[in-house]
Chains A and B, each alone.
Chain A
Amino acid sequence: MKPFYRLAMVACLCLLMGVTVWGQDAPLGFAEGDPVIEPNFGDDIKTLNPIIVADGPSQDVINRLFPVLIQYNPFTLAWNPGEPRGLAESWTISDDGRVYTFQLSDEYYWNDGTPVTTADIMWFWNATINEDTNSNNQLLIDQVESMVAVDDYTLEVTFKVASCTALDTLNPVTAVPAHAFEEWFGSDLAGMEDSEFNLDMPVTGLDFTFDNFRPGEQVTLRAYENYPDPVEGSVIPAGYIYKTVTDQVVQMEQFYAGELTWLESVPQSSMEEVRTRSDAGEFQIFEAPANTIRFLSFNLADPENPQDAVDEDGNPLDQGVHPILGDKRVRQALALAMNYDEINEGAFFGNGIPVASHVLPTSWAYPEDLAPYPFDPDAAGALLDEAGWTDEDGDGIRECNGCETTEDGTPLSFKVETNAGNVSQEALYTILQDQWSQIGVDAQVSFLDFNILVDSLLAQNYDAIGLFWNFSIPANPDDATDVFTPSADVIGSGFNTGSYNNPRVTELLEEARLLPGCDQAERAAIYGEMYEILADELPWLWLSTSTVMSAAQGNLENWDPQAGFARWNIDAWTSQSR
């Protein structure tokens, strides 16, 4: 049998030699003229058409291809005329605050040489309001009465009501090449979703042009040399590659090996290592508070009989009261029993930031004296006692003994549902469950498939659901209208799933939105009062936001990410040496 052994040994040697030879490839790294390579941790892009886009990866790529009507400043996060990517050079507002007249730059051209004009914005608008396109820009459709091209570079937008959030509403308005879109989709808007051009856009108008899409692998854009508004005079990277890397560990290893130019968000478990290596000059890092918070939505209404807030005629409906969480004191006790430091260490590697209400500490509307609930289990216990929840039978779980929301003897036990598969989320709720058990609360935590969770949330038949909330950029405190007012309390679609209703909160939101003159300090004071009411009544338990760390290769020059606009100068990213 010796020949078998010989054969096996030769095969092993060949394999080893082959492996060694293949190992001689140089790492990619980032050198002058290299493409920027950024990982895509999510699914494939679905479309490059700004009119029908509905997913994050597609929007990321679209942002590199099409100019928008208005753009915010990366440093102040305020809407500003004349910002790169934004067509509006200036705008005026009518006396009644309803009509905005935008003057567009005449320097932008599509990559086929056609100038970008108001016709391109109008094509976007007309397609958006056409039901056949199934556009997702519902807020825009709801709030804008009309859009008119006065001439090639003057656009008049009339809102249904004068609102301080008008510019925020115009955020999605994007120029699309009307001459090309007319040819591709013009006669059949109903067929727009099915067009092959949605994934092959040869006519674009920013610093990069679309080159190719390899499903499951990468999207490739090439530098557009004639782009009129590059940050450093010309588009420096040869292109931009949105590369699919579906495992976080592998993503980090590819970054360490120089195969990725930068990471917008370093996983929390890797932050410490990246910090250490950036101290040694190997990488650059940028840290800022995230734009996302984790929250636990309490159902304040009867989950056995979910109802909309109002009927078809606008009359309030009886939604009942949640037998446990309907009492504000119980919710406050849960907040007081939360030991944030322990959660931060156990779930977020110390990178968490506590949150007190429905506002981030970085927002212009954040009230200075707003603070998270302190960790005070004794006060939590006292509040539960006061609310009529005591442990008479000594089993460690309190029961209703004179509480106002349910029958005596009902245990203080409720279900907490959250999404499975997110390690820090699972750790957070496991720790929280333990902390609440210390004050006699039985939180039955379950980790569910996201679709099941969404079903439960929208059906409003849950006790408490833990999810994430993304704040808009720039900060728009009016977001709370979609979450804490009766108009959003609609089974199956609204996001006020916990049926919170405080007329004063609704009033304050409207007051701040319609404030004559829209003075920001005055609006901040109004929102401040609202945030304090929310913090007191706790329709949600705002749990945490976290530090987001972006990291880039050490030799990448001009990398200057800002919180909320990391890629603002991507066309200037360069390096002199590998």
Chain B
Amino acid sequence: MTQYVIRRLIQAIPTFFGITIISYALMLGTPGGPIKAMFFGQRIPPEEIERRELALGVNDPLPIQYLRWLVGDDWMRRDTDGDGIADTAFLIPLDVNGDGEPEPPGDRYGILRGDFGRSFFHKRPAIDVLVERLPATLELGFSGLIVGLVLGLPIGVLAAINQGRWFDQVSRVGAVVVNALPNFWLALLLLLLFGSTLGWLPLGNRCRTTLDDTCPPITERLEYLILPTVVLAAGAVATYSRYMRASMLDVVNQDFIRTAYSKGLSSRVVWLRHGLRNAMLPIATLLGPSITFLLGGAVITETVFSWPGVGRLAVNAVGQRDFPVVMIVVIYAAMATILGYLLSDLMYAILDPRIRYEK
């Protein structure tokens, strides 16, 4: 198993770089740049705009910008005699703007050396900006995933057991309705009902608004988590329940289930011990993408509930063309995707004794 995990992680490296190259190219291909977004409407002379674009390196060719992001630029333009002025250059000119003065030496190390760049707008390391948003996203993502699984799987099992009866019909209609509901609409509806009309639950945000400088532990503010979790989990419940139902029905029509019945086992034992475990296998394939989706931040849910997560951060960063932040979110999402799919594969082994990854 360990060897398999290591092999999969090594195989993921080209996938990871492929994702970053495509993302970087797409990001740079979109019209508008960070300087225009930053200074639009302000009285900034053209030469000042050029100076700032030069400082950020946003006018360099795509491969150079990508290389700078990946492996830094301290080796591209160097100060070899220690006088603070760059004197050698590789891949990029020593004097970019043609003013006769060399540009400052490169000071970026690139993500491979742990330098994820600084946010153009937040003026802080992009990694810091991401990390401070992660707890909120993980909180909401895991809650959504757990509720989705805890409700979705039993509903699917019950629907299969009661095939054609009222529970099956209700769960089927419910799944279709929930899947058809736009998230923003459901979120607003729940907020207006439970937050505004009934006054039972908070109207968004992650914790109570006070002068204190920290959000209390999650156990002291569960009420803030309920509505966003319900919205995020609604789709997952609908999807898992339908997959689980179909999978269970596939399994219960197989020979080994009939054999179990013929041996005189009770229905509960047949369904749960023999049927459920086998029916869970296809569900494992869903889990990987679900983890990716839920950990990647739910943009709409986070926006409606003013939830300070990664999704909202990513949308703002894309709008502002804040490349370092966009790219660190891409890295995070790529890693979540790779790990999600790896987890799916590992769950196969756990659920199906026939699958073994060792030689």
From B52, B206, B214, B309, name the one whose CB has the most chain A CB atoms within 10 angstroms. Answer: B206
Least CB distance, B141 to chain A, in whole angstroms:
15
Contacts of B321 in A (CB 8 A): 451
Contacts of B303 in A (CB 8 A): 246-247
Is the C-beta of A173 less than 8 angstroms from some C-beta in chain B? no
Number of interface residues of B (CB under 8 A): 73
> Quick check: B32 and A136 within 8 Å, CB to CB?
no
Is the C-beta of B253 less than 8 angstroms from some C-beta in chain A? no
User: In the complex, what residue of chain A is closest to B36 when comparing beta carbons?
Assistant: A454
> Quick check: A46 and B122 within 8 Å, CB to CB?
yes
A-facing mask of B25-52, CB < 8 A → 1, else 0? Answer: 0000011110011111111111011011
> Quick check: B133 and A217 within 8 Å, CB to CB?
no
A-facing mask of B256-285, CB < 8 A → 1, else 0? Answer: 000000000001100000000000000000
Least CB distance, B332 to chain A, in whole angstroms:
16
> Quick check: B203 and A259 within 8 Å, CB to CB?
yes
Is the C-beta of B249 less than 8 angstroms from some C-beta in chain A? no
Overall SS of chain A's interface:
mixed
Is the C-beta of B308 less than 8 angstroms from some C-beta in chain A? yes
User: In the complex, what residue of chain B is closest to A39 when comparing beta carbons?
Assistant: B306
A-facing mask of B221-261, CB < 8 A → 1, else 0? Answer: 01100100000000000000000000000000000000000
Least CB distance, A172 to chain B, in whole angstroms:
11
Query: Which one of A19, A25, A43, A241 lies within 8 Å of B316 (CB-CB)?
Result: A43
Cβ < 8 Å to A, chain B residues 185-200: 188, 191-192, 194-196, 198-200
User: In the complex, what residue of chain A is closest to B132 when comparing beta carbons?
Assistant: A215
Contacts of B30 in A (CB 8 A): 451
Is the C-beta of B99 less than 8 angstroms from some C-beta in chain A? no
> Quick check: A136 and B42 within 8 Å, CB to CB?
yes
Least CB distance, A368 to chain B, in whole angstroms:
30
From B39, B52, B122, B302, name the one whose CB has the most chain A CB atoms within 10 angstroms. Answer: B122
User: In the complex, what residue of chain A is closest to B192 when comparing beta carbons?
Assistant: A253
> Quick check: B123 and A198 within 8 Å, CB to CB?
yes
Contacts of B51 in A (CB 8 A): 131
Query: Which one of A222, A257, A493 lies within 8 Å of B46 (CB-CB)?
Result: A493
- How far, in angstroms, from A537 to B161 measured CA to CA in the complex? 77
> Quick check: A214 and B158 within 8 Å, CB to CB?
no
From A142, A241, A244, A256, name the one whose CB has the most chain B CB atoms within 10 angstroms. Answer: A244
Given contacts A222-B211, A238-B211, A482-B43, contact A454 B132 (CB under 8 A): no
Query: Which one of A43, A54, A131, A199 lies within 8 Å of B42 (CB-CB)?
Result: A54
**Size range of the interface on A?**
35 or more
Least CB distance, B274 to chain A, in whole angstroms:
16
A-facing mask of B153-190, CB < 8 A → 1, else 0? Answer: 01000100110000000000000000000000000100
> Quick check: B209 and A218 within 8 Å, CB to CB?
yes
> Quick check: B200 and A20 within 8 Å, CB to CB?
yes
Given contacts A246-B303, A455-B32, A455-B36, contact A253 B205 (CB under 8 A): no
Contacts of A25 in B (CB 8 A): 202, 208, 223
> Quick check: B211 and A253 within 8 Å, CB to CB?
no
Q: Nearest 10 CB-CB pairs, A to B?
A: A216-B308, A451-B32, A23-B200, A212-B213, A22-B223, A493-B46, A452-B31, A455-B31, A253-B196, A215-B132
28 contacts between A and B (CB under 8 A): A18-B222, A46-B122, A47-B123, A134-B52, A136-B44, A142-B43, A199-B124, A214-B213, A214-B214, A215-B132, A216-B132, A216-B309, A217-B205, A217-B207, A218-B209, A241-B211, A243-B205, A246-B306, A247-B188, A250-B204, A253-B192, A253-B195, A450-B37, A451-B32, A451-B33, A455-B32, A458-B40, A482-B43
